[in-house]
Amino acid sequence: MEAAAYANAQGSAAATDNALISAAKSGDFSSFERLYERHRATVYRFAYHMTHSRDEAEDITQETFVRAFQNLHRFRKEAKFTTWVLRITTNLCTDRARMTQRRSALEQQEAAGSLEWMTVGRTVSPIEDLEKERQAQMVRKAVNALPSHHRQVLIMRDFEEREYTEISEILGCTVGGAKLRVLRARRALRDRLAPLLKEMEQ
């Protein structure tokens, strides 16, 4: 069966994640590479929105797949590979957020400023739309100020538009629990954005 899975993974471009995982489990690294190519963008996007830093997001993405490779034998076939790797990513992001919290406020500000300047992709030119950029920065700041668990669900639901079922699988909770977390996170975001919202209202 593993040999068949291996052949499938080698030959067909449309090989399923499960076939690739089976092949990777039996020692075929190229199958794992294909899994990486398939899902790295998803992981990277999520990590980027969590950290707002390209370097950190890349590091997290790589670490996620290293851990996935390391723990491939623990993967259950009934789960989705994306869900599983995103769960790893979520944990890594949480760990990183905890580490960041430990830094002093000054260090954090400095690091955030320099990293933003160096790594954040500026899709909107400040010359073209200064106001929009300012708003985006305020939103980013507000999002960054949110606790990690709030940020995670907001990115999953309101940025990546994932279903509540999938979010619940990633977070390891019930669908109702996922809905509740999203609701709380939205409330928290609104509270953080209150100054900007007031300004916009005026």
Partner 1 sequence: MNRRLEEKIIAFAYGELEPRAEAAIRDEISRSPEAASLYADYRRSAELFGALPEAPNPSLGTERLKQEILSRGLSRQPRWFGTMGTIAGAAVAAFLWIMVSSHPSRTTSETPAGEEFAVSATATETKRGSVPAVPIIKGPTTEGLTAATETLSHPKPAAKKAPARTEAWRSASTPLRIGHAVSSGASSSAVPTTDEGIVADAAVRSFGAAERIAPTPPAFNGDEVVLIESGAPEEHGTTRATEARFPDGVSIGG
- The minimum distance between CB 106 and partner 1, in angstroms, equals 26
CB atoms within 10 A of CB 137: 13
Q: Which of residues 50-79 bind partner 1 (CB under 8 A)?
A: 54, 57-58, 61-62, 65-66, 69-70, 72-73
Nearer to partner 1, 103 or 124 (CB): 124
* DSSP SS3 for 121: coil
Q: Which residue has the tokens 């939103």?
A: 139
For residue 190, what are the CA distances in angstroms to 84, 180, 194, 198, 200?
30, 15, 6, 11, 13
Among 112, 115, 139, 173, binds partner 1 (CB under 8 A): 139
Q: Does 144 interact with partner 1 (rule: CB under 8 A)?
A: no
Q: Which one among 10, 17, 18, 26 touches partner 1, defined by CB under 8 A?
A: 26
Binding segment toward partner 1, per CB under 8 A, in 82-90, 106-114, 166-174, 180-188 = 180-188
The DSSP output letter for 158 is I
Q: Which stretch binds partner 1 (CB under 8 A): 12-20, 22-30, 83-91, 170-178?
A: 22-30
Stretch that binds partner 1, among 79-87, 102-110, 166-174, 183-191 (CB under 8 A): 183-191
Instruction: Answer whether 196's CB lies under 8 Å from 139's CB.
Output: yes
DSSP codes of every residue in 5-73: HHHHHHH-TT--HHHHHHHHHTT-HHHHHHHHHHHHHHHHHHHHHHH--HHHHHHHHHHHHHHHHHTGG
Packing angle of the helix pair 175-201, 164-171 (nearest 10 deg): 110
> Does residue 44 interact with partner 1 by CB under 8 A?
yes
Q: Which residues bind partner 1 (CB under 8 A)?
A: 24-27, 29, 32-33, 36-37, 40-41, 44-45, 48-49, 54, 57-58, 61-62, 65-66, 69-70, 72-73, 119-124, 135-136, 139-140, 143, 154, 158-159, 183, 186-187, 189-190, 193-194, 196-197, 200-201
